[in-house]
Amino acid sequence: MQFLPDLSAQALISRDLIAALRRDAPLVQCLTNFVSMNTAANVLLAMGASPAMVHAQEEAPEFARVCGAVVINIGTLSSPWLDSMLLTAASANEAGIPWVLDPVAHHATAFRRDAVRRLLDLGPAIIRGNASEIIALAGGQSASKGVDARDAVSQAEQSAHAIAASRATVVAVTGETDYVTDGTRAVRIVGGSPLMPRVTATGCALTALVGACAAVSRDDPYSAAVAALSCFAIAGQRAGVQADGPGSFAWRFLDALATLDADSLTRESPLR
């Protein structure tokens, strides 16, 4: 494993990526769960992207071909949604559209394990999950029984590297300190707020932003993931300073994302 030696160069890439996101307003198709739809859409709008919560099997695969990126999140999974997800991922691949997988609680049931196995075989450009999900995805023993992370990100770094190398994908592990790797490069991202896990769908919304960044960085999904996580780290830290609790944090965080200028990615770089 090799850590990127020039973090300032990576911060500059993140800055340019967010500037491109603000300029191009990419269309991001989100096949995501019921809990996160509103939050994910608002986060994408705050960052300048255009969200589309299109998931029906009758139109989702066709719609994917006109999008900048596709996000697949299995939070509230059902058989019809899974069928649509598989067809949409395949359609995105055919059209050269990057797609991002959020394997929410994939280790909790046999249905979820099988769903994620089938989705992984379609080759997501980026996988974003918490430490417990990534450890389990690599075949390790996780302490979690559901959607909550019970493992530290540091415990998931080796698993993330193994998945990225074997699957030729980018893995982003999020928690108190985030970790992103493509199997060769790797970086840690610090920041955010302890209030973030207390606001529902924050992680799912982050996955949507990863998709938006991938839409303007198709040739470098690693940098897309780093840029998205950096935005959340900076905005979360800003919002957490003034928030009185999870309620006020939620709207302050959205405002912090909306007012985040591209230069913040270099001035306040959270890369370590």
Residue 69: count other Cβ atoms within 10 Å of its Cβ.
30
Bridge partners of 189? 178, 271
pLDDT of residue 1: 44
Q: Which residues of the chain have pLDDT under 50?
A: 1-2, 4
CA-wise closest residue to 59 among 74, 80, 78: 80
What residue type is 15 in one-letter code?
R
| Topology annotation, domain 7-268 | UDP-N-acetylmuramoyl-L-alanine:D-glutamate ligase (3.40.1190)
pLDDT of residue 6: 87
Chain segment 190-228, per-residue pLDDT in tens: 999 999 999 999 999 999 999 999 999 999 999 999 999
Report the SS3 class of residue 172: strand
Provide the b/e sequence for 216-232 (b: ≥16 CB within 10 Å): bbeebbbbbbbbbbbbb
Pairing relation of β-strands 186-190 and 177-181?
antiparallel
How many alpha carbons fall within 13 Å on the CB side of residue 223? 21
Q: What are phi and psi of 139, to 5 degrees?
A: 95, 10
Q: Is 47 annotated as a binding residue?
A: no
> Alpha-carbon distance 157 to 231, whole Å?
21
> Alpha-carbon distance 109 to 127, whole Å?
19
Report the SS3 class of residue 44: helix
pLDDT of residue 2: 46
> Alpha-carbon distance 51 to 43, whole Å?
9
Report the SS3 class of residue 46: helix
> Alpha-carbon distance 133 to 140, whole Å?
10
Chain segment 139-177, per-residue pLDDT in tens: 987 655 555 556 899 999 999 999 999 999 999 999 999
> Alpha-carbon distance 51 to 37, whole Å?
10
Distance of CA 115 to the CA centre of its chain: 18
Q: What is the value of pTM for the model shown?
A: 0.95
Report the interhelical angle of 202-215 vs 7-24 (nearest 10°). 90
Q: Is 168 annotated as a binding residue?
A: no
Q: Is 128 annotated as a binding residue?
A: yes
Residue 117: count other Cβ atoms within 10 Å of its Cβ.
12
Residue 143: count other Cβ atoms within 10 Å of its Cβ.
14
